[in-house]
Each structure stands twice: as C-alpha cells, then as structure tokens.
Structure 1
Amino acid sequence: MSFCVIVLVLCLSVAVAVTESAIGVNWGTVSFHRLKPSTVVDLLKDNKIRKVKLFDADPDALTALMGSGIEVMVGIPNEMLSPLSSSTAASDLWVRQNVSTYLLKAGADIRYIAVGNEPFLTSYSGQFQSYVVPALQNLQQSLAKSNLAGYVKLVVPCNADAYESSLPSQGAFRPELTQIMTQLVEFLNSNGSPFVVNIYPFLSLYGSSDFPQDYAFFEGTSHSVTDGPNVYNNAFDGNFDTLVAALNKIGYGQMPIVIGEVGWPTDGAISANLNAARTFNQGLINHVLSNKGTPLRPGAPPLDIYLFSLLDEGAKSVLPGNFERHWGIFSFDGQAKYPLNLGLGNRLLKNAKNVEYLPSRWCVANPSLDMSDVTNHVKLACGVADCTTLNYGGSCNGIGVKGNISYAFNSYYQLHMQNEKSCDFDGLGMVTFLNPSVGECRFLVGVTDTNSSGCEPGLGSYKKWLIIGLLILWFFIM
C-alpha cells in the first residue's frame, strides 16, 4: 500500500468519526395511488430532506429531482444483476441511460448506485449471490468510461441476516457468505464506498414472542444485553455492532456504514401503530444525531440513515405481513401521520401541498339492504385493492361488519378512480358524500396521479422494458 493510499485511508477513518449523520428517506412507488413526482420532490424540499433513496432509476422521479439539490441513490433490481454481471455493454447502457443522462448541470445529483436490493437474503437461496461482485466490477468500469467513478459510488444494500451472533462482539457473516462478503467489502473499500445495511428492530419484535418490546426502542429497557464491558440498551445498537464485529473479522473494522432502511410501520399488526412508529423513529433520529455512536464505535454513528419509508405503498406484497403497506412517515397522499422532528430545530413534518384528489365521495354498503350475499364481493374488492387495515391489529379492525364491507367497497371504488360501475356490487353499494371514516380508521379518497390507469399500481413499466432490453443485449453478446 502506497504512502498516499495510507494517508487517504487514515483520512477516511477520521471522517467516519467526525462526520455528522444525515437523515434521508426511501421513496418507494409500489402504490395504487401515486403522487406526482414533482409533488413528492416538493414534499422533500419543504421538509428539508436532502437525501433520497430510490429502488430503481425511474425517469419521472429523476426528472423531478433535477435541480433540487437533493442527493440521490438510484437502484438496480436484483433481476438485472445477471446481465450486468456478464456484459460490459449492458452495464455501459445502464449507466448511460440512468446516470449520465441526469448528471448534468442543474441535473439530478446521483451519488450512489444500489446494485441489487438485499441480494444475499436467506430466502433467495443464493439466487443472485454469484452476480453481485461481477456486476459491481462491470458497472465500475462503465462509470470510469463516463468519468463518473470518482463521484458516483456503488453500494450493495444488505439485509441484517447477512451476519449473525448471540452477542454483538462475536458478530460474523454467515459462513456461506464469508468469501463473497470479503470480496464485496474489498471492492467497496478500494472505491471509497460505504457498507449499506438494512436494520429492522420491528421485524425482530414481530417475528418472536420472546423478543422484549422495550429493547426495540430507545427509551431504556429492563432487558439490556451485557457483552463483556459493553451494555446494549436497544436492538439497533446491538445489530449495528454485530455488523461492525463481522467487518472487523474480515479485516475492515473501520468501514463506513450507511443504514439503507430503518423504520417502524403504523398499521397492519398489533405492534404497528402511530404511537409506536413515532416513538421509534423519533428515538432513532435523536439517538443517531446525538453522535454518541455505539459501544464498538463510540462517537461514530452511521454515515447516513435512510428512513423507511417516505410514503405508504398500498400495492406491496403482504407476504411478510400486512404491515408491509404501512411503513410511511407520510400516508400515500403526502400527509404526515404523526409529529416527527428530523433534527431540524423545532420543525415538525410538513404535509404535501397542492395534492390533486378525486372528488370527496365514497362508496359504502347500502344500509337499507341485506348483506348476507356480500362475501364474494368483499373478496373481489380486497383481492384487488388494499384492505390490510381491516385485519387483526389494523386501525379499521373494530368498525363492525357493515363498516368492513364499506371499507372494502370504497377501496375498490377509489382504486378504479371512482368509476360509477365500481360501486355497484350487484346493487349493494352506494355512493355517499359523507365521510364514513371512524376514529383512526380512514376511508381514503384517491389522488389523480399522472401514470395510473385506475387499475394498475405504479410499478414503473419502463423498468420491465429496460430489463427486457438488457436481457436481449446480453443474449446477442453471449
């Protein structure tokens, strides 16, 4: 290692210790009711959020972000890792279309490319594992060809299940990942990139009845974890230091760490509610911005933290749980769910402005009719629209049978942009101009987005075509 490189490494190590953490957000778009990208960018700016992480490279989002001054992390879906790992032509094309195009004067300030999303997840059974490092190498070459390698950094968001331990100081990467993680971290280190990890204390609590609830938060616990001279009072610090120990075991104990996802849902499970989400997120922000760090990294908190997430995504898969659609600090229409200070003095979250709603009308069950034959209609409505708040632990779980029917009808009706026929249900539904919301159970009114057909979630059809294009290119090159 040359003297210059040694000096650079030392400077980076010092930077980890003194750099103040920044709070960013994840902007996901798997929703039936998408706000205009320009409205979302205005929401970010109004709340002085200076960092945003995308799960793709949606051209509408990137165009809206141009000139905003917001630092951007764009994403590459796992399905694209295979062609990108095998073809520099494919990586050149991806960089040209999704990075170079936007990195102009007054353009989108793309700082990171997330190569895959949790590609080492245990449930993937190694499906994407072998593609990660070759894809990184090809993309790095493509960035270098575009003279962007010094500005745009490649990262790989990893799930916390990539490492394991009973105590933080004994943290280690899963045995089958040790070799590839060593290669990955060597690559990140040589190119000045941080290690990105997603940490979810909520999932630990949700997945285990033995997990102590107060240990998931930051307000003190009667279930502290003692690890030699170190005492852990919250799950976040314990998880973070387990990663630090794992990195140390492969020789990179000073590697900068960014939290790619962390948060708490507000609905869809017993432990998912507004109060818990506010308590966790505010506690997390205060803890990180205090710069106390963790026992293994005192005074050196994560480089950045991206809250998960900015907005609710009502079209996400509920396979992990109904809470998956309720992670937003804002509801789908950009309205703050609870008071939250992002560390900007006394400022609390500001709502989105100029949101274009559909008319204030709802579809409900006709109170004068017999609902004994409604079961199939409810199944149809909830099979298409989002009814997760009706389930056990949800905010609408206690509104009664007719309330449940009305909620299902209305969700379907709003999804279909209030089309008159979508409130028929063989005559059992009726349109009302009186808001049927009850307490915390909100009957939504849709927004007039710019890219919805009224039936399809905004999943970014461009991404599907880009994947197809890369696969075709890959086929002809191989």
Structure 2
Amino acid sequence: MGFPKLVILIPLFCWMESVYGIGANWGTQSSHPLPPATVVKLLIDNGIGKVKLFDADYGTLRALGKSGIEVMVGIPNDMLANLGSSMKAADKWVSKNVSDHINNNVNIRYVAVGNEPFLSTYNGTFLKTTYPALANIQAALIKAGLATKVKVTVPQNADVYESPSGVPSSGDFRADIHDYMIQITKFLNDNGSPFTVNIYPFISLYLNPNFPVEYAFFDGNATPVNDGGTTYTNMFDANYDTLVWALQKNGFTNMGIIVGEIGWPSDGDRNANNQYAQRFLQGFMTHIAGNKGTPMRTSPVDAYLFSLIDEDDKSIQPGNFERHWGVFYYDGQPKYSLNLGTTNSGALIPATDVKYLQRKWCVMKDSARLDDPSIAQSVSYACALGDCTSLGYGTSCGDLDARGNVSYAFNSYYQKNDQADEACRFPNVSMVTKEDPSTKTCRFEIMIEPYFGGAGRLIGAIRSLVAGLVLVLVL
C-alpha cells in the first residue's frame, strides 16, 4: 500500500522552558464567541500552555496577559502584500501587535506569517508576497529588539510536500513551488525559526472513499507501510516523516518542526462524529506521550490541537465539518472524554460562568403542514443565515424526520439572532416553545449571551437583529 497523499483544504507547540505541552488553536469565527477571559480560564483549567491565533485581536491578546500561556499571533493572508511591500507597515504591525502586548505581559513567542499561503487551491495567489512579508516582519522584530524571544514561522499545509513513490523517504517539496519553499525554509532555518505544518488525516478520508480508515488512527490496526525496513501504521507518522525527509534532502537536517494544526471534526460528515474525534485525539495524545516522536524524528512532537472551540461562522466551502473542529462546543462544554495528561481528573474541564439565553426554541408549528409552499423557502432562508451543518446523512441530526429538520433550521436562525421575536415569524409555520426538542443525538442549541467586547461584535449583533426584522419582509 502506498503512502496516501494528504490534501488539506482549510484552513500546538513550542517549548515552555524545556517542558513540552499540548497547545490549541483558538479561532474566533463565531456568531457568539465566549468572552476572551472565559476562554483563557478554560485554557488554564485544562493545562493547555500554548495557544495559536489566526490574527492579533486586541481583546484576545489582552486577556492572555499575565496568564503565562505561550502565544503564536497570526497575520492573515490578505495582509501579506502590504506588509511585504512596506517596511513601515511591518514596523507598525510589530509595534502594535507584538511589542505593546509583550509590554503588558503577554507571552508572545511566535508570529505566524500567513496561514497555509501555498495551499494548492489558492492557485499561487500568495506565492510572491509571503517571503517579502516574512522578511519584513523578521526585520521589524530585530529593530524592536524582540528577535531572540519571538520567532517567525509560516504555517504550511501538508500539500507543500509530496512523495512520488508513496513512502516517506521519497518526500520532497512540491515541484511547482520548490524554489519558493527552499527560499522560505532557508530563511526560517537561518533565523532559528521552526517549520510549521498542518496535518489532517481526516481530510484524506473525506476526499478519498477508498482511504484505509484504520490508517487514520493510532491503534496499530492498519496494514503497515514498509519504507526500506521502517514500518508505518498510521498516517500522522508517515506524513510527518515525509516532511523530515524533504527537509533533509534540501539541507535542513536539524530544523525544528511544529505541527500547527491536528484534529478531527465531530459533525457535518459521516466520518465526523464524537466517537471518531475522541478516538483520533486520544490516540494522538497517547502516541506522543512520554515525548515519543516518529521513526525519523524521535524527539518530542510539538503540536497544537485544531481546534479549541467550534466556530459557527466559518466557511463551509471545504465541507460542512468546518464548523465542528472544536474539542469543546460553542459554549465551552466538552464534547467527549479526552485525557490531555494535564489535569488531575484526566478529563476536559468545561468553561465556567457561561451565560445562556432563555430556555426557549423556535420550531415548526404543530398545525403547519409540510406541503405548505412557504416551508421550503423558509428553511432555505433559515439555513443560509443560521447553521444547518448538523443536518444530513451521517450527521448528529441526520435521523430527524422532516418536521424535525424544519424545526432545527428555524431554531438555528432564531438562536443565532439572539432569540429575537422577529426571528421566529416564518409565515404561519413557526412558533416558540419552552419544551426542548433535542433528541438523544441531536442538540437543539440555546445560544449563549452575545459578547460585546468590541465594535465589530456589536455591529455583528445589530446586523443579526436587522436580518431577523428583514425576514418578515422577505418571506
């Protein structure tokens, strides 16, 4: 069996004094994010000592001050061109998003310049802007006197390297971007910075129905891949070592590696469920316990779980599973049992002091008929502005009947709009109930209170309310 090629469509860790620990990606594309202070406490309670961000949000970084948590701040891809063409812009970015926060006791250790900028599906959009931005940010860090404490890196998708023969030892950087990869990797290596890669066995399973399922996990049940006497029984080790070989072949034998993202979604696809997610992540944690590495790199694995909390505003273009990567639900409640080796209980600790909206739901009216001509239009509208990714074949709510599907769609829109009365006025077919319509496997959510930590959040809430008001006019 050849080594399955890994392709990632989307879009933790460094050392903490010489002690390795697990990290987590903290994304914020949520309609109702938990307050940053609540998330920081969640991280601390669960012994997660490192966090990777996708931007440099002021409120998020401020909440991380004095926590001791190591932070990787992110620069979005759409900022690369400006930062790469203007040293002044790079200096300003570092001053505002690194220096100021370090002065307020935020333990920033890395700057992620871009996020998977060489992803093949971007069709080369960021090929020529990533390196100039990387160089300018590094220069700005040097000028700020921070280059020894804060390192730059470029989180790459695992599709930047490949193995023509299907085994790790044939690994090399993708031919079409080889020169770009060497340029960036040499720059990182020369500056003592790590190579960051995102590895997702789930995506390979999602894209290829013939992918050997057991090879995605760590139980040792897969048919081994033999690479010149070295055997691989899981995709993570094989993929990681393909990168190790690619680095070695190009002269970067001892370069540090960070696994910037690794995880498994819990909904939105037939292979995305709590059982598989728990199996994968617990398998991964057990696999790397005791500072065990891979056949080619026996040193401890540095990794950030993807991700900490579900994000219901993420794009679902790659797949409905995109909104369900969290180890915790949107409200900071654990999805499953997971021993990170960091708590006395050996289990995930939920977020505390979470404020919920009232216990009420918007559902299909008992007297409404499924053949009512407004039903289809109403559901389409509700799903477009709500989140119906838990509906469908093999999902957590896939067993609902037709009326249940309608109710789920209505309630998603209703909750996302803060239970506004106008958001449950689908013409003659909806009603508000205080009886929980959830089933054994399907959660009809009650949203948490909106967090107005900044103008952007407030505007988002107003926009949602307006959407609810518009509903009556549209339908």
TM-score, normalised on structure 2?
0.90
CA distance in 2, matches of 1:43, 1:449: 18
2:337 aligned partner: 339
Equivalent residue, structure 2, for 1:188:
188
Report 1:386-397 matches (<5 A).
386-397=387-398
Deviation at residue 221 of structure 1 after TM alignment: 2.2
Residue 206 of structure 1: aligned partner: 206
Q: Quick one: distance in 1 between partners of 2:293 and 2:398?
A: 40
Distance across 2 between alignment mates of 1:416 and 1:397: 24
Write out aligned runs for 1:55-134 (5 A): 55-105=54-104, 107-134=105-132
Kindly state the Cα deviation for residue 257 of structure 1 after the two structures are TM-superposed. Answer: 0.5
1:363 corresponds in structure 2 to 362
Q: CA deviation at 1:19?
A: 5.7
Answer whether contact 1:241 1:296 (CA < 8 A) is retained. Answer: yes
Which of 315, 318, 321 is equivalent to 1:317? 315
Inter-CA distance 455–123: structure 2 relative to 1 (3 Å threshold) = farther
What letter is aligned with 1:88? M
Whole-angstrom distance in 2 between the partners of 1:111 and 1:393: 41
**Contact 1:415/1:455 (<8 A) preserved:** no
> 1:456: Cα distance to partner?
5.4
Displacement over 4 Å in runs of 4+:
none
In the TM superposition, what are the counterparts of 1:342-421 in structure 2 within 5 Å? 342-344=340-342, 346-372=345-371, 373=373, 374-421=375-422
What CA distance in whole angstroms lies between the structure 2 residues aligned with 1:257 and 1:289? 17
**Once the 2 structures are TM-superposed, how far is the Cα of residue 238 of structure 1 from its aligned partner?**
0.4
Q: TM-score, normalised by structure 1?
A: 0.89
How big is each residue's C-alpha offset from its partner over 1:332-385, in whole Å with a ceiling of 9 and x where there is no partner? 000000010112254210000001111111111111222322000000000111
- Cα–Cα, structure 1 residues 392 and 454, in superposed 2: closer, same or farther, change >3 Å? farther
Say if 1:20 and 1:170 are closer, same or farther in 2 by CA, change over 3 A.
farther
Seen in structure 2, the aligned counterparts of structure 1 residues 455 and 204 have a Cα distance that, compared at 3 Å, is farther
Match of 1:167 in 2: 167
What's the counterpart of residue 238 of structure 2?
A: 238
> Residue 108 of structure 2 aligns to a residue in which SS?
strand
Show CA shifts across 1:52-102 (max 9, x none). Answer: 000000111001111111110000001111111111001011111111110
3-state SS, counterpart of residue 359 of structure 2: coil
Distance in 1 (CA, whole Å) between partners of 2:341 and 2:19 is: 12
For residues 414 and 140 of structure 1, what CA distance do their matches in structure 2 show?
44
Q: Give yes or no for contact 2:84–2:132 (8 Å, CA) kept in 1.
A: yes
CA distance in 2, matches of 1:128, 1:104: 32
Query: Matched residues in 2 for 1:172 and 1:294: separation?
Result: 18
Which residue of 2 is the match for residue 38 of structure 1? 37
Give the structure, 1 or 2, with the largest relative contact order (CA under 8 Å, sep 6 or more): 1
Q: How many residues end up aligned between the 2 structures?
A: 439
Instruction: State the alpha-carbon separation in 1 of the partners of residues 124 and 225 from structure 2.
Output: 32
1:247 aligned partner? 247
SS at match of 1:68: coil
Secondary structure in 2 aligned to 1:422? Answer: helix
Counting aligned pairs with the same residue, the percent is 51
Q: Contact between 2:21 and 2:48, CA under 8 Å: does it hold in 1? A: no
Aligned AA (1:135): A
On the 8 A contact 1:220/1:233 being kept in 2, the answer is yes
For the structure 1 residues 455 and 416, does the alpha-carbon distance in structure 2 shift closer, same or farther, using more than 3 Å as the test?
A: farther
2-structure distance, mates of 1:346, 1:294: 28
CA contact (8 A) 2:222 2:234 kept: no
Q: Is the 8 A contact 1:21 1:289 kept in 2?
A: no
Are the counterparts in 1 of residues 416 and 447 from structure 2 also a CA contact under 8 Å?
Answer: yes
Contact 2:32–2:451 at 8 Å: present in 1 too?
Answer: no
Q: Give matches, 1:455-466, under 5 Å.
A: none
